[in-house]
Amino acid sequence: MEFINEDIINSLLKDQNLNEKNLQFEIIEKAKLCKGLTLEESCALLNITEKEILEKLFSAAKEIKEKIYGNRLVLFAPLYITNACVNNCLYCAFRRDNKDLKRKTLSLDEIREEVEYLVKQGHKRILMVAGEHPKKSELKFIGESINTIYNVKINGGNIRRVNVNTAPMSLENFKILKSFGIGTYQCFQETYHYETYLQMHPEGPKHDYSFRLYAMDRAIQAGIDDVGIGALFGLTDYKFETLALLQHAFYLDKTYGIGPHTISIPRLEPALNAPIAEKPPFAVDDISFKKLIAVIRLAVPYTGIILSTRERAELRRELFEVGVSQISAGSKTSPGAYKESESSLEEFQMQQFQLGDHRTLDEVVNDCCSLGYLPSFCTACYRSSRTGDRFMELAKSGNIGKLCVPNAISTFKEYIDDYAMEKTKERAVEFIAGELDKLEDSTKKKVKKMLNRVNSGERDVFF
């Protein structure tokens, strides 16, 4: 636990000098160099309260994100394969003692049906999620599930990257997980505050704080070089949680030369028979939430920041402006819900938490275009071995966008041709034309050639 230093964090939070306005202005200007921030500088920005400085913070976050990644937003969907769980987390509907939750573990045939539904919507990325259960989510089943997902192919459409969010594993099991061809491995600490962590996870293997904390070390040592961390905001003070999350990111970068590929920032939402979820002990208001996301963007400019459909659509639009780069769309958080949603499944009896954004993928894509964001279905980095230190080198130097934007345009054109509703198609064609006009002539020629290949029926065209 030495890299999560609560004494240092608490000392910074008590330091009144970090409330000084001129200091906050200076740190924001420094951050625009896209070299990141120290923990102390991050704390100073978390202390911002004045509207004028907040607006400068938000503006800087957008500027930094677009310098590195452009105006693109990567889209994905979660796929829950089981809600069986032996843990008793006080904030989660999957908790062991929830007797009202309908438990379901998908068969491979059911997983195939779920994936077929997602592919027909236009999805190319899936985040596969499983509760922690020694029998229902064993490693063999996870491997078979991933293989099933990759094998679904419908009229040229398929899932090209399976990211995985499962319980932490041993080093040897992480090596096996890597052999399944996964993309990013995700595991959230939930809360980095030690005493709070023990209170929130009273029973089950998740009670072991250290085993979870060092999951990313074992994953990286096993050869999984894209890892995603996160915290569940609302369990303890959001400033503490943000600084601890950054300590984790800094530690991974210093120790392995690769920081987290993604950082997720979920907020606590109501969940069936989850006592803490109904009344969060440290509820985070919208402005504070927006602020902490912006601070993370300034502090670790290279990382992908993931925003889920926990948040309502109106707020998601605002948060796109402060550095978010990946979003879920058309999400369901219960096993089998995609296929069953058409027959009025009582999802609340099986879902992990309540959603705030219930729009379809097509509605989200249309909205992104209207806001000036380029929807991206690109998975090129994973298949071109631009992962781990190779990805970080491109991201930290600001060069990843030179690949991301052209590939985003190509995959978006594929979505338009194969899946978009007519209204979305009309808007998207005009949007792509505008994106092409922004490109340098040499890049524009290459992208036009890619688009011609897509127009001729070729799929999965990328740099």
- The domain ranges of the chain are 6-65, 70-381, 384-455
How far is residue 133 from each of residues 86, 116, 139, 171, measured CA to CA in Å?
6, 26, 10, 18
| DSSP code per residue over 82-97 | E---S---TT-TT-TT
| DSSP code per residue over 183-213 | S-EE---B---HHHHHHH--SSGGG-HHHHH
54 three-state secondary structure: helix
Taking the model in full, what pTM does it have?
0.96
| DSSP code per residue over 314-345 | HHHHHHHTTT--EEE-S---STTHHHHGGGT-
Q: How far apart are CA 235 and CA 192, in angstroms?
A: 10
pLDDT at residue 352, rounded to an integer: 86
pLDDT at residue 343, rounded to an integer: 47
Task: List 306's β-bridge partners, or say none.
Answer: 264, 326
pLDDT at residue 68, rounded to an integer: 93
pLDDT below 50 — which residues of the chain?
Answer: 342-345
pLDDT at residue 278, rounded to an integer: 86
Cα 225 to chain centroid, rounded = 16
Task: List 257's β-bridge partners, or say none.
Answer: none
Element (H, E) at 215: helix 215-221
Buried b (16+ CB within 10 A) or exposed e, 241-259: bbbbbbbbbbbbbeebebb
Q: Which CATH number fits domain 70-381: 3.40.640.10, 3.30.110.30, 3.20.20.70, 3.10.250.10?
A: 3.20.20.70
Task: List 75's β-bridge partners, or say none.
Answer: 327
Q: How far apart are CA 118 and CA 329, in angstroms?
A: 11
pLDDT at residue 1, rounded to an integer: 57
Q: Beta 125-130 vs 72-82: how paired, if at all?
A: parallel
pLDDT at residue 447, rounded to an integer: 95
Q: How far apart are CA 185 and CA 214, in angstroms?
A: 13
pLDDT at residue 349, rounded to an integer: 66
pLDDT at residue 154, rounded to an integer: 96
Cα 411 to chain centroid, rounded = 19
pLDDT at residue 344, rounded to an integer: 47
pLDDT at residue 398, rounded to an integer: 84
